[in-house]
Structure 1
Amino acid sequence: MTTLENRPNTALVVVDVQTGVVAGAHERDAVVANIGSLVERARREGVPVVWVQHSDEHLVRESEEWRIVPELVPGEDEPLVPKNWGDSFEDTVLESVLAGLGVGRLIVVGAPTDACIRSTLHGAVVRGYDAVLVGDAHTTEDLTAWGAPPPEQVVAHTNLYWSYQAAPGRTAGTVSTKEVDFTGTS
């Protein structure tokens, strides 16, 4: 379990599911639907939902591309964490938000797989969190023109290698949307 003291709670962390980030993403609609079902389930079960929203010179704050996709609407009482780096913890208030919620275990979903998702997962474990990736609730765009593998391979490889991650006193892993356990008992 987490190495963070007095952090028994789990949170669903929704990373960068923004119009411009997922516009051309692999299996976009299915991934957004899976994220939507997890958000609804987390709300029903009283699990905090924390939204992360990226901005930079290519994703300008307040632009249409910067907005969370229309299918997903953050609740008024759900924290929204602005960020400018891949790791959702880097130079943000995410750590203080999670500490305030007593969260030591993260269920991570969002985009893009090969940047912000991987960075956030690693950043979480390094900081003492347990971090679970939902394998069918993250995606990326096609970057094969720049030498990357096809997006389905990026997603599959990330799911594979994250299923074997762990660190002293911390757990990680990959589950499907249907397998998500917000209680942290498995």
Structure 2
Amino acid sequence: MTTLDNRPNTALLVVDVQNGVVDEGHERDAVVANIGALVGRARQEKVPVVWVRHSDEGLVRESEEWRIVGELTPEDAEPVVDKSYGDSFEDTDLEKVLAERGVGRLVVVGAETDVCIRSTLHGALVRGYDATLVGDAHTTVDKTERGAPTPGQVIAHTNLYWRYQAAPGRKGGTVKTEDVEFSG
């Protein structure tokens, strides 16, 4: 349903699954396993897998914290988009990467739920993409000391509100790993 012309394809967008981002993440191992399963399925179904990697003063390029977790490895043909802002589209070549692959629909997984995942989902929708969140394949760390709800509550709330997101000619939605359909 995307508003982008000639963009019938779907891509799996793997956001910030880096050591320094997810190591303390809520249900880290289960989330990484679900992401790994989706990456495997996408590859098998010839669906583009696009990786996003964040850097800032806490995630210094080439540091161990900056690297994608050991359980997941981008293949040589899979683009890795480097970013410095929450929204994976902001000041990156993500739009160009997706356009080259005819992508108008994103299946989004990764971290952190309350920052980069939410920003990227909203960024995709306002740019004309359909954006599906995989509800059991994103995580965040505990920020209750700063007044945030618990990680489980943040994840549950994001899954709930994104399930009903829509805009003229585009839609959001939340599904479980087992229910992801790359074809539609």
TM-score scaled by length of structure 2: 1.00
Residue 122 of structure 2 aligns with an amino acid whose one-letter code is: H
Give the Cα–Cα distance (whole angstroms) in 2 for the partners of residues 79 and 58 of structure 1.
23
Aligned partners of 1:163, 1:43: CA distance in 2, in Å?
26
Q: In structure 2, what residue type is equivalent to 1:72?
A: L
Q: Which residue of 2 aligns with 1:42?
A: 42
Helix, strand or coil at the partner of 1:6: coil
In the TM superposition, what whole-angstrom CA distance separates every residue of 1:81-119 from its partner, at most 9, and x where no partner exists? 000000000000000000000000000000000000000
Residue 104 of structure 1 aligns with which residue? Answer: 104
Aligned Cα RMSD in Å?
Answer: 0.3
Question: Structure 1: 5+ residue runs without aligned partners?
Answer: none
**Gap regions ≥5 residues in structure 2:** none
Deviations 1:30-87 (A, max 9, x none): 0000000000000000000000000001110000000000000000000000000000
The count of residues paired between Structure 1 and Structure 2 equals 184
Q: Give the equivalent residue in structure 1 for 2:126.
A: 126
Is 1:91–2:91 an aligned residue pair? yes
Question: Match of 1:51, as an amino acid?
Answer: W
For the residue of structure 1 that corresponds to 2:135, the secondary structure is strand
Identity among equivalent pairs (%)? 76
| Counterpart secondary structure, 1:4 | coil
Shift of residue 177, structure 1, vs aligned partner: 0.1
* Equivalent-residue separation in structure 1 for 2:6 and 2:29 (angstroms): 37
Partners in 1 of 2:170 and 2:75 — Cα distance? 30
4+ runs deviating over 3 angstroms: none
